[in-house]
Amino acid sequence: MTSAQMYARLLASDASCNGRFFFGVQTTGIYCLPSCRARKPRRENVRFFPTVEAARAAGLRACRKCHPDDFARGADPVLEQIETLAAEVRTTPSAFADVPALVRRSGFGATRLFEFFRQHFHTTPAEYLLRARLEAAKFQLLQSDATVAEIAYTVGFETLSAFHENFRRLNGLTPASYRALRNARAFTVALPENYPLPYLKRALSRDPQSLTERLTGDTYHACVRLDGAPARIAVELRPDELRVMLPAGSATTAHALIVGLAGLTQDAPAFARLAKRLGFARLVAGRENLRISQTPSVFDGLVWAVIGQQINFAFACVLKRRLTELVSTEFADGLYAPPTPDAIARLDPAQLLPLQFSRQKADYLINVSRLVASGQLDLAALPSQSALRAERTLLAVRGLGPWSVNYLLMRSLGFLDCVPLGDTGVTSGLQTLFRLDHRPERDETVQLMRAFSPYRSLATTHLWQLDRPLP
């Protein structure tokens, strides 16, 4: 491309040129992506660069509006190297005796590798390796007849007690109980100490008229999809444990769902320590162990992320109920099965307009459901991808903006370092927390939230509670 062509593309804010070049502005000292929406520079003040490194070498700094460095990091082949390494860890965790082995295999220094894992998987290499070992152990517990001890050593644990302790912490039951799920119709998941149960109850009853879930006293009833088929679950919420009953369906799948619902795998205590260290004890006061309750399925989260954008919560609940009534049927006890991608994909937008969906929302919802139903959007693959890859995949879908995508990353894919930009709950929470005389705009939100990295999703869930009465 000639300079004149590149200048024409930046005037047009052409996102398709992102990555092909970057431009710097001499007068402001910043460099940008071609798509940047900031005020357009005069031709004589612009210089073009092939990489962000070249722009930095020229003494420029990254624009805070278009975030050229974030883009460049994604375009970087380093991301693919990290993803390949992560895939190796997941498939053969026993090949990595410890974190130094992981560092050696990566070819990066320890510091860089640590930074990459934090950025792309929102965790540390050690934690990633630990979870990969536990996942491998769970698979073997269900598929093999090896003893628990044999499995512990096979997947790379040095002591049986470390295996038991970590297994129980992240799964809420012992390896032996997990194995027993193969034929179970009921199971119990232990909650960590000081688990803020009232907040979980609030999350589970946020739409009291929901057609798919209902909280009655201390029992949560829901119709979910286990391995594709609708199933009823009942969960008795006790201060120290969740007792789950399911008349049919796979208990191992139900267990994964319950672990997500309770947010067991999230390191809430680490965030609480960070918040206190930063002087924000009141952000976490009374709910230090608060987790982000994960949606029953990624598709449920996706439907909600599309329905909920740009409208208030109560109206979003109404639309979701109407959609469920339209495409699903009562399964048992007045509970409906959650809508499937196929059922929504078959709709015509005109069918949703009488339900008060805007034309655009109807289009978006049907479009994304068709992508899922046809396999073009593989939701099952997203949780094991890097956060950046998952974010890009989702942002490329028509109708999914930064709010929806980040909402989905934190509520359905378990990523701990996301901010749903533009979320009014986050901005009003930040206003209260920082005692601002205004609601922070996008850039200020990004800047204020930076302190909470790598736990910005957890910060978000606390901010959502900050202006609300205690449950």
Q: Which is closer to Zn ion, CB of 40 or CB of 370? A: 40
Are 231 and 224 spatial neighbours (Cβ–Cβ below 8 Å)? yes
Residue 72 beta carbon to Zn ion: minimum distance, rounded to whole angstroms: 13
Of 69, 300, 417, 423, which is the active-site residue?
Answer: 423
Asked about 378 being catalytic, the answer comes back as no
Question: Which tokens is 406 given?
Answer: 């980040």
For residue 380, how many other CB atoms are within 10 A of its CB? Answer: 10
d(CA 216, CA 8): 61
Nearer to Zn ion, 14 or 236 (CB): 14
For 65, 68, 145, the CA distances from 32, given in Å and listed in that order, are 8, 6, 57
Least distance (Å) from Zn ion to the CB of residue 41? 10
Annotate 15-27 with DSSP letters as a single string. Answer: GGGBTTBEEEETT
For binding to Zn ion (CB under 5 A), which residues are involved? 32, 36, 38, 63, 65-66
The residue nearest Zn ion at its CB is: 63
**Shortest distance (Å) from residue 65 CB to Zn ion:** 4
Q: What is the CA radius of gyration of the chain?
A: 24
Shortest spacing between CB 38 and Zn ion, in angstroms: 5
Rounded to the nearest whole angstrom, what is the least distance from the CB of residue 419 to Zn ion in the complex? 19
How far apart are the C-alpha atoms of 413 and 397, rounded to whole Å? 17
The helix/strand/coil state of 330 is strand
* Distance of closest approach, residue 5 Cβ to Zn ion, in angstroms: 19
DSSP secondary structure code for residue 158 in this structure: S
* φ, ψ dihedrals at 187, nearest 5°: -160, 165
**For strand 241-245 and strand 229-237, is the pairing parallel, antiparallel, or unpaired?**
antiparallel
Q: How far is the CB of 445 from Zn ion (least distance, A)?
A: 17
Name the one residue in this structure whose structure tokens are 């929901």: 210
Q: Strand 241-245 vs strand 186-190: parallel, antiparallel, or unpaired?
A: antiparallel
- Measured at the CA of 14, the angle between CA 12 and CA 16, to 5 degrees, comes to 160
Distance CA 4, CA 9 (A): 9
**Least distance CB 36 / Zn ion (angstroms):** 3
Burial degree of 175 (CB within 10 A; 0-12, 13-18, 19+) = buried
Through-space distance between the first and last CA atoms of the chain, rounded to whole angstroms: 59
Bridge-based pairing of strands 46-49 and 330-332 is: unpaired
Query: Could you tell me which residues are beta bridge partners of residue 31?
Result: 24, 62
Q: Are strands 61-62 and 213-216 parallel, antiparallel or unpaired?
A: unpaired
The label of the residue with tokens 């232990």 reads 190
Residue 190 β-bridge partners:
241
Minimum CB distance to Zn ion smaller for 33 or for 449:
33
Give a three-class secondary structure readout of 56-101: HHCCCEECCCCCHHHHHHHHCHHHHHHHHHHHHHHHCHHHCCCHHH
How far is residue 372's CA from residue 301's CA, in Å, rounded to a whole number? 13
- Token pair in block for residue 283: 């952000």
Smallest separation, CB 39 to Zn ion (Å) = 10
Amino acid at 341: P
Which residues belong to the active site?
423
